[in-house]
Structures are given as C-alpha cells and as structure tokens.
C-alpha cells in the first residue's frame, strides 16, 4: 500500500506546472524526494551482509582444549599493555606470560571502534551490521551465530550492554549471563575498576558454589565449554580520566592480578589437566583524549595474548619488520608478533575447543597460534574454507534468484566448477599428507570466497547509485528551473502545447511501466521500485520546462562570455571549498579569510566602515576555530567558565542599552524574560564549575546540578518564544537561551564558538542591509525597531539578483562551519561522554547521543535564525529565498554524496592488517552520514518554518 501511494503522490506533485505549484506543494514534493535520498543511503551502503541457511562446519579431528576462557578488557590499548613503564617494569606482569608460555600479537579492529561491533567481530567472526546503531549497539537487528551459540555451555559475566545480545541470539538454553546493574556504569563513580572486581569476585563465587552443586559441577566438566569475562572498568576509566591517567594504569594492573587469580583457580579446579585455553584481547582501543569510534591507530590496535592448551609457545626471532615500528618500543622485537584481524579470533576459538565455526564468520584461522599437528591445521583450514564458501554459495543463489538470467553476471573467479575443483584438490592434498599445499590452497579459496561475498553484497550498488544520482541531478535541475522561471526575468512566458504535453506524459509513463515490469519479474524489494521509478517523474518535470532551458541558454549566450565563465568558475571554486571542508577542516579557515575581504572586494568598506571592520575581525576570529584540535582532546573548564562570564558581561551591556530605549520598544515582561535568561547563563556557568570539581574529587554528579541542567535545557526552548518580537532583541534572546545549554555541553574552547559565530551573524544582517543599497532599494528598514510579526507589504518584494546566490552560498558555508568549526565530527564519530557530564554520567547511548547531536544543532539554529532575519529585512519573499537556498544546499549535498562513497579519508590506515575484507567494505563514515541527515532535515525544517511565516503573519 505504501509503495503505490508514494509513487502516485510524487508523480502527481512533480507533474504540476511549475508556476501553478505552490510553495506548500513544492516543499511536500521536496520532502518526499529527500526522504527517498535519506533512506537510500542505508539501503545501498548499510544493508546487512548476513545470510542464513548454511550448514555448520566442524573440524573432524579432536580439539586440543576442552574449555576456553575469554577475557575481553574493554577499551584496552595495545601500547598500554605491551609498553613498559618508565622504570622498565611491565604494566601487567602476569600477562607478560607471552615471553615464556604464550603467543601474542595485535588484533586489528574495524571502524566503528565501539564495544558491540568489537564483541560481535570477536565472538561471531563478522563485522557488525551497521543498522545496530539504531538500537544503541545493544539489540540484534539480524540474528547471527556465534562461538557461544555453538558451544555446549557458555557462562559470561560483565556488562548488561554486551552479554544479553549473545544470549538472545543463542539457540536453546545454554548461554548464561551474570550482569551488574546498568547504573553501575557511572563515569563519575569513585573507582570504575570495581566493575572488574565484581566480575572476578562473581567468577570465584561461581566456581566455589559448583562444588556443592552436582549439576553445575557436571556441566563445568563437559567439553566445549566457554567462560567469558567482560571487563569494562578500563574503558570507563579511560573515558573519565584518559588512558594516560593513573586510574587507567592502575585498572590494568588490577585486571592483570584478577586474570592471574582466575587462571590459577581454573587450573586448580580442573586438576591442572592442561585442557584449558586462555585468550585475552580487547574490543577496541582509545585515543589519548579518551574517545573511541574512529580509526586512529590507538583505537584500532588492540592486544591479543593466547596461552594454554593447543597454543604455540613463544617463537624467538632475530628480526621482524612492521610498519608501525612498535616492537622496539615495547621491548618485544625478539618475540614473533602474530597480527590478526579482529574477526579471525572467532575461528581461532572454535578450532581450539572443536565447535563449528560461526556460520557468518568471515575470519581466517590464524594457524601460527596453534600448537598442533600439521594434519589438524590442514583440516581446520579446510573447514574454515568450506564454511566461508557456504556463505558465498547462499549469497550467489539469492542474487541469482532475483536477477533475470540474461542480466545475471556471476563472480567468474569462483564459478560452481571452480569451487568443486578447489575443494577436491584441497581434500586430495590432505589425503596425500601434503598439508602445506592444502593450507595454501584453502587460503586462496577463502580469499576468493570473501571477494565473491563482497561482489554479491554490492551487486546492485552501482545500479541503485545511478538511479539515485539520476534523481538527484534531476531534482537539482528542476529546482533551479523553478527559481529561474518564477523569480527572475531571465525567461519569457511560453504557451503550453497540450498535445505535446500529453505525448510527453504518456511517454514517461510508458518508461515507468517498463521499469516496474522488469523489477516485478525479478521480485526486487519494494524499495527498489522507489529508487528506480523516482527519476521518471523528476525528469518528466524537468523536460516539461524545456522552453525555460532554451530561453535561459539564449539569455546566457547574449551576455559577456568572460563574465559568465568567471562567475561559473567562482561558483565551482566555492563549492569545492565546501566539499574539501568535509575532509580538511582547515579549508574553512581559507574560506572565512576570503569572507573577511568581502567588504573590500565589493566596495562595502567605504559605505559602512564600522560594520565592515567588525565583520573582518569576526571572520578572522572564527577562522581560528577550524585550526584548533577537535573538541575533547584538550579539556579546558576554566575557559568554559570564562565564556559564561563573558556572555553575562555582554548581556549586561545589552540590558543597559535596552533600558535606555524608549518605552515603546520594551516592556516589563520582556525585561523579566531577559533577567531569567541571564540567570540561566549564571547557573550554567556555576553548574559547569561545580560538576567539574565534584567529578575531579570522584564524588559523582551532584543531584542539584543535574536538576538545574535539565531545567535549563527545557527552558532554553521556551524562553525565546516569550521574548520581545523586535528582531534584534528576539535574536539576542535566542542566543542567550542556546548559550546556557551550550555551556553545559562544553568542555573547552568550543564554548566560545557560538558566541563568535552569533556575533558574526549579527554583523552579517547589518552588512546585507548595506548591500541592498547597490540595487537602489531605499526602503531599508531600521533593524532596531523592526518587528517581524507585522504583516510585510508584498508590493515591496523584489526579484532575485545574483547577489542572492552569494547570500545562499554564505548560508550553506556558515552551516558547514557550524558543524565542522570545532571538530564536532569527533563528538559524533568518537564517543566522548565528557560533554554530557552535567546531565548524566551513567552510560546511556541514546540519551548521550541525543545530547551530543543537540550540541551540534545549536550553531545551526543561530545561523538559520540569522538567515531568516536577512530574508525578512532584505524584502525577499519566503518562497523565493527558500527555493534559492534549497538549490544551493542540493548542489553541495549532491557533491557530498558523490564524495561520501569514498572511505572516510581521516580514518584510513596504512597498515595492511587493517584493510577490510567483509562484504560491507566501502561505506561513508558514520559522522558524515549523521551530518548529511542533519543537514537535510534542517533544510526541510526551515522550509516548513518559512511556510508557516508566509501564512501566519500578525497584523
């Protein structure tokens, strides 16, 4: 029912004549089209790589271990464990066991370096389905198999955010979880190491209680048993105190001692039977400033230490080469380092205890960790290859069933016959005891199968991407044509030929029917219909405006070619600066410095020297922020407090100025609101200072501070609505309300950012008033007495000029600056809870994420309010300007979409071990997608706001 409705609605809206299409219909059409664009990102790039229906594969030979103990030290960096202290002592003496009794290496994680994706890779062997982010990395959007599910029994202890997802995905009742309360995960607690002590204590109690519980004792003595200890304290201390802090290092030492006690206890419990394998690793690392989520080496390099039954002893080497040059620093250059990808740990665990490899695992068994016969290694590798080939066959079968035979292009390197040949040859090598050849052949087969999985997973990506790109270009073209036709004098009225219109309509309708027919016979998902049919009505609307295109071309050709080319070059250069700013924040500095010279270039300097001087100064000040380190790296609470006091000082000057004005420009109610907002700023400043001191003394978040913070957040959205309706006073009221919330969410220099940005916005409003004089508009309103609730005289509305294109570009540039100016990409992509400590300290992904997004949105609001003020005071119709800036935003977003298909440049690593191998390999970064969604919804929100204003003016 939904699909036909959307198709018909979109077709109906876009097929209306451009002149007849009202602003409300235009916005509704834009909303539908942009919703398709938004959803397409997830359907094309973030679809689940998982398939079902495979047969479990298990090594036929007896395993070396009966049980496995998995320690995951959440947030433990490789260098924090391996690097010696300043006094040449190891930070974890017991785990230095790798020098005598175990094998070691680096486990290379994948972006996003979060807890749930890391645990899924370790235990299930595949890289997380990205749609899990919609459930806070806690639930299973798609059920999957894991080592725990394949085990006879699994007992686990640790965080309620991690353990339940593996129990929910398990078949039968054999995966048991023991969790502390969610409230225990408090970043402001006295000692987060207590979380790990809780785990160790409960494991000891568990084994002690089993001696008096025969059922439990018997279960523990079964084969294929897994014991999982999730240790969250290190991660929590890293967030709260940073990885180089005393708390973080002491937590590592406590974990080392706890692991030693657990290992000795388990060995004693089983009578030192030598049938227990131990693995210590981490789900992700952490940056020096206490965040994770991105792809910095400190986040992606995690330790891996394996010892016990079936594990190789340390291998002495004279030399070994790695690009990171860390071995010498760690004093481990003579012990062979065995690096793996994080997903390789799952098949290693399965091989050690003899359970089937997880069905969806894409990991390759790291044979060098195994201390077993060549026959066992060959059989294990053969099982690994068959397990991955099974996934490939299911994926290929699914794609073949939904594609017409003459359109289906198989993955040629691994055809059906090739699969059989590889498997037969490998089995023959094993029978002939040519184990090295069998292993080599299996590795080749695994690599081909993984390539094939990626091939079929992205099989429709090009086709869907072209459909979306076609729609995007068509919609952009249509918006531009509507603007030119209805709001400029560049074209002349053209009589509509009804006969030609009818032929055109049926022609496009026929094309749509052909596309729908091909999709139907291939049983494609319903979303494919939307993506593939959307270009039809969009381009129909464009082709209907062909006379406008002809008039426009004739008009452009009549102008000076040099000027036209120069204008186009400047437009392209401006857009490229915006695109580069997505990857290099310093590009914004270059753009702002160019903006600083705008008054000089356009002769506005002579016309308004004071405003021009302030504009230049504020542009230069704002240009400093993109050159600063990203938010959170260098906390500076005194600077946040100073910003609050500066805001209060500015408020006092503004209040004094307001009190001197005539009574008709103010009233007592306005002054009350003003005082409330100043009080809110003062309270926010106090809360930031008080909360910081309380957390520093490990006293937790004071309840009073928490109440004030939430009340400030709520009031900040209400008080501006009660303030004066005079333009400048309302804008300043909005600034004060948003600053009170922004201060509570700030940890350093970024607190100054909205203050400088809003100052520039106030000057921008005045500068645009001066720019109007160039077009001979003498009815320039006085901003001090301009009341936006009065009905605007529509006879004073003007047509669009080229200068309006410049204004639209300014708006989009300031929007991008509002997001990237303080490195907010780090706040979204790398989890840093420090910004929300005034509101809560207990881990809550959705709540913390929402507050971080609010922090990002606040500068957006300031820029948008300024732009609305410019629109009103420059005597331009809401319809005209909204379409103008929609067009500008579409062009920038279009280029962004094309760039976002590249891997996130600032996350890519040069190490070979970090290269991705799973089917969902190439995706835009999470932070870029957040920004894209935010930008799109923000433009649409502004459209509806302007639409409301156009109908709801007060006389």
pLDDT of residue 319: 84
pLDDT of residue 629: 80
pLDDT in tens, 734-746: 999 999 999 999 9
CA distance 34 to 886: 11
Q: Looking at residues 914-925, what average pLDDT do you find?
A: 37
Q: Looking at residues 131-154, what average pLDDT do you find?
A: 72
More confident residue, 567 or 921: 567
Element (H, E) at 306: strand 301-308
CB burial of 524-551 (b: ≥16 within 10 Å; e: otherwise) equals beebbbbbbbbbbbbbbbbebbebbbeb
Q: Closest Cα partner for 354 from 172, 217, 152, 169? A: 152
The residue assigned the tokens 């048991």 is 176
Distances (CA, A) of 241 to 231, 251, 432: 17, 11, 58
Q: Looking at residues 487-509, what average pLDDT do you find?
A: 74
More confident residue, 875 or 8: 875
CA distance 209 to 217: 9
Mean pLDDT check: name the lowest of 49-58, 98-107, 216-225, 908-917.
908-917
pLDDT of residue 582: 79
Q: What is the pTM of this model?
A: 0.81
- 142-151, 638-647, 783-792, 941-950: which is most confident: 638-647
CB burial of 41-50 (b: ≥16 within 10 Å; e: otherwise) equals bebbbbbbbb
**The token pair that represents 663 in the structure block:** 């009574």
Four-residue CA torsion sign, 836, 841, 843, 846:
negative
**The token pair that represents 7 in the structure block:** 């198709």
Mean pLDDT check: name the lowest of 446-455, 644-653, 733-742, 848-857.
848-857
pLDDT of residue 113: 87
pLDDT at 758 over 80: yes
Q: How confident is the model at residue 32 (pLDDT cuts 50, 70, 90)?
A: confident
CB burial of 351-379 (b: ≥16 within 10 Å; e: otherwise) equals bbbbbbbbbbbbbbbbbebbebeeebbbb
pLDDT of residue 877: 55
More confident residue, 428 or 502: 428
- 190-204, 340-354, 390-404, 519-533: which is most confident: 340-354
CA distance 551 to 547: 6
pLDDT of residue 795: 47
Mean pLDDT check: name the lowest of 99-108, 262-271, 797-806.
797-806
- pLDDT > 70: what percent of the chain? 81
Whether residue 807 contacts residue 668, with contact meaning beta carbons closer than 8 Å, is answered with no
What's the whole-number average pLDDT of the chain?
81
pLDDT in tens, 819-846: 888 865 444 444 567 889 999 988 887 7
Distances (CA, A) of 61 to 65, 352, 368, 370, 442: 12, 11, 18, 14, 17
In eight-state DSSP terms, residue 95 is G
pLDDT of residue 655: 79
Contacts of 546 (CB under 8 A, 6+ apart): none
pLDDT of residue 798: 63
Q: Looking at residues 716-734, what average pLDDT do you find?
A: 85
pLDDT of residue 616: 93
Contacts of 679 (CB under 8 A, 6+ apart): none
pLDDT in tens, 645-656: 999 999 888 877
Q: How many residues does the chain have?
A: 955
Our CA dihedral for 721, 723, 724, 727, rounded to 10 degrees, sits at: -60
CB atoms < 10 A from the CB of 510, how many? 11
pLDDT of residue 305: 96
pLDDT of residue 780: 52
**The token pair that represents 897 in the structure block:** 């979409």
The residue assigned the tokens 């971080």 is 852
- DSSP state string for 177-228: EEE--GGG-BTTSS-THHHHHHHHHHHHHHHHHHTT-HHHHHHHTSSSEEEE
CA distance 185 to 305: 26
pLDDT at 869 over 70: yes
CA distance 457 to 304: 30
Q: Looking at residues 111-119, what average pLDDT do you find?
A: 88
Q: How confident is the model at residue 210 (pLDDT cuts 50, 70, 90)?
A: very high
CA distance 198 to 540: 66
Backbone angles phi, psi at 73, to 5 degrees: -90, 95
More confident residue, 288 or 364: 364
Q: How confident is the model at residue 48 (pLDDT cuts 50, 70, 90)?
A: confident
Element (H, E) at 870: helix 845-873
Q: How confident is the model at residue 953 (pLDDT cuts 50, 70, 90)?
A: very low
Whether residue 56 contacts residue 359, with contact meaning beta carbons closer than 8 Å, is answered with yes
More confident residue, 640 or 321: 640
CB burial of 383-401 (b: ≥16 within 10 Å; e: otherwise) equals bbbbbbbbbbbbbbeebee
pLDDT of residue 384: 96
pLDDT of residue 499: 72
Q: Looking at residues 27-37, what average pLDDT do you find?
A: 85
CA distance 242 to 634: 11
pLDDT at 332 over 70: yes
Q: Looking at residues 309-313, what average pLDDT do you find?
A: 93
Distances (CA, A) of 242 to 80, 635, 800, 834: 12, 11, 53, 11
Mean pLDDT check: name the lowest of 150-164, 219-233, 414-428, 711-725.
711-725
Q: How confident is the model at residue 690 (pLDDT cuts 50, 70, 90)?
A: very high
pLDDT of residue 932: 42
- 34-43, 168-177, 466-475, 664-673: which is most confident: 466-475
Burial environment of residue 734 by CB neighbours within 10 A (0 to 12, 13 to 18, 19 or more): buried
pLDDT of residue 726: 80
Q: Looking at residues 443-467, what average pLDDT do you find?
A: 93
Q: How confident is the model at residue 920 (pLDDT cuts 50, 70, 90)?
A: very low
**The token pair that represents 448 in the structure block:** 């081909």
More confident residue, 814 or 495: 814
- pLDDT > 90: what percent of the chain? 43
């Amino acid at each position: 029912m939904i699909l036909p409705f959307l198709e018909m609605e979109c077709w109906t809206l876009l097929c209306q004549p451009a002149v007849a299409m009202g602003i409300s219909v235009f916005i509704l059409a834009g909303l539908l089209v942009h919703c398709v664009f938004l959803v397409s990102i997830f359907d094309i790039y973030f679809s689940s790589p998982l398939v079902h229906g495979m047969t479990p594969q298990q090594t036929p030979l007896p395993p070396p271990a009966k049980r496995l103990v998995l320690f995951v030290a959440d947030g433990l960096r490789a260098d924090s464990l391996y690097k010696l202290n300043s006094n040449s002592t190891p930070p974890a003496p017991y785990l230095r066991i790798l020098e005598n009794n175990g094998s070691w290496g680096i486990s290379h994680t994948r972006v996003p370096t979060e807890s749930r994706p890391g645990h899924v890779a370790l235990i299930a062997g595949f890289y997380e389905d990205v749609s899990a982010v919609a459930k806070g990395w806690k639930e299973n959007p798609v059920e999957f198999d894991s080592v725990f599910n394949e085990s006879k029994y699994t007992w686990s202890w640790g965080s309620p955010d991690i353990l339940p997802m593996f129990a929910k995905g398990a078949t039968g009742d054999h995966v048991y979880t023991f969790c502390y309360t969610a409230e225990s995960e408090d970043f402001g607690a006295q000692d987060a190491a207590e979380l790990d002590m809780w785990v160790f204590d409960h494991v000891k109690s568990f084994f002690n209680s089993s001696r008096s519980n025969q059922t439990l004792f018997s279960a523990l003595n079964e084969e294929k048993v897994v014991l999982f200890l999730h240790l969250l304290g290190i991660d929590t201390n890293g967030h709260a105190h940073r990885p180089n802090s005393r708390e973080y290092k002491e937590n590592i030492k406590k974990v080392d001692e706890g692991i030693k006690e657990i290992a000795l206890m388990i060995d004693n419990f089983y009578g030192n039977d030598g049938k227990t394998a131990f693995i210590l690793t981490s789900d992700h690392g952490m940056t020096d400033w206490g965040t994770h989520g991105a792809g910095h080496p400190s986040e992606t390099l995690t330790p891996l230490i394996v010892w016990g039954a079936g594990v190789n002893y340390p291998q002495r080497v004279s030399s070994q080469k790695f690009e990171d040059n860390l071995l010498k620093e760690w004093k481990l250059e003579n012990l062979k380092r065995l690096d793996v990808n994080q997903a390789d740990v799952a098949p290693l665990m399965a091989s050690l205890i003899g359970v089937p490899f997880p069905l969806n695992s894409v990991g390759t068994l790291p044979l060098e960790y195994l201390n077993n016969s060549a026959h066992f290694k060959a059989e294990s590798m053969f099982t690994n290859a068959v397990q991955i080939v099974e996934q490939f066959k299911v994926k290929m079968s699914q794609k073949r069933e939904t594609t017409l035979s003459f359109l289906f292009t198989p993955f040629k390197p691994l055809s059906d016959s090739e699969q059989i040949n590889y498997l037969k040859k490998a089995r023959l090598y094993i029978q002939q005891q040519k184990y090295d050849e069998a292993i080599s052949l299996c590795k080749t087969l695994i690599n081909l199968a993984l390539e094939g999985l990626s091939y079929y997973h992205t099989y429709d990506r090009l086709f869907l991407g072209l459909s979306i790109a076609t729609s995007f270009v068509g919609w952009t073209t249509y918006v531009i044509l509507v603007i030119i036709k209805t709001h400029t004098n560049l074209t002349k009225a053209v009589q509509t030929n009804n006969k030609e219109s009818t032929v055109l309509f049926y022609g496009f309708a026929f094309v749509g029917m052909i596309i729908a027919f091909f999709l139907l016979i291939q049983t494609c998902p319903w979303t494919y219909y939307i993506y593939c049919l959307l270009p039809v009505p969009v381009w129909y609307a464009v082709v209907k405006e062909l006379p406008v295109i002809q008039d426009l071309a004739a008009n452009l050709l009549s102008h000076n070619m040099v000027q036209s080319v120069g204008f186009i070059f400047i437009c392209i250069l401006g857009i490229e600066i915006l695109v580069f700013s997505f990857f290099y924040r310093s590009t914004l500095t270059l753009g702002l410095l160019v903006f600083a010279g705008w008054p000089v270039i356009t002769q506005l300097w002579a016309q308004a020297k004071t405003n021009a001087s302030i504009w230049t100064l504020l542009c230069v000040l704002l240009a400093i922020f993109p050159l600063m380190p990203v938010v959170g790296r260098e906390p500076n609470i005194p600077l946040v407090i100073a910003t609050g006091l500066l805001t209060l000082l500015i408020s006092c000057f503004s209040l004094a100025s307001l009190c001197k004005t005539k009574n008709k420009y103010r009233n007592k109610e306005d002054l009350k609101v003003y005082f409330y907002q100043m009080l809110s700023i003062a309270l926010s400043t106090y809360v930031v200072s008080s909360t910081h001191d309380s957390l520093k003394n490990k006293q937790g978040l004071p309840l009073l501070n928490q109440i004030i913070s939430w009340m400030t957040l709520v009031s900040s959205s209400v008080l501006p609505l009660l303030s004066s309706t005079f333009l400048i006073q309302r804008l300043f009221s909005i600034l004060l309300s948003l600053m009170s919330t922004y201060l509570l969410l700030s940890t350093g220099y970024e607190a100054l950012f909205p203050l400088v940005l809003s100052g520039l916005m106030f000057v921008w409003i005045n500068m645009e008033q001066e720019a109007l004089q160039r077009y001979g508009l003498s009815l320039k309103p006085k901003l001090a007495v301009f009341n936006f609730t009065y009905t605007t005289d529509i006879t004073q509305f003007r047509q669009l000029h080229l200068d309006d294109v410049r204004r639209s570009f300014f708006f989009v540039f300031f929007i991008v600056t509002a997001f990237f100016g303080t490195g907010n990409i780090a706040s979204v992509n790398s989890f840093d809870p420090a910004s929300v400590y005034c509101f809560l300290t207990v881990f809550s992904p959705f709540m913390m994420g929402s507050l971080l997004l609010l922090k990002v949105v606040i500068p957006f609001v300031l820029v948008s309010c300024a732009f609305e003020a410019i629109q009103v005071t420059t005597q331009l119709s809401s319809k005209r300007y909204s379409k103008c800036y929609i067009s500008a935003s579409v062009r920038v977003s279009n280029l962004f979409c094309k760039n976002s298909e590249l891997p996130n440049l600032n996350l890519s690593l040069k190490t070979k071990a970090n290269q991705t191998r799973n089917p969902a390999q190439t995706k835009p970064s999470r932070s870029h997608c957040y920004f894209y969604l935010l930008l799109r919804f923000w433009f649409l929100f502004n459209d509806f706001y302007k639409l409301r204003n156009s109908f709801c003016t007060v006389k």
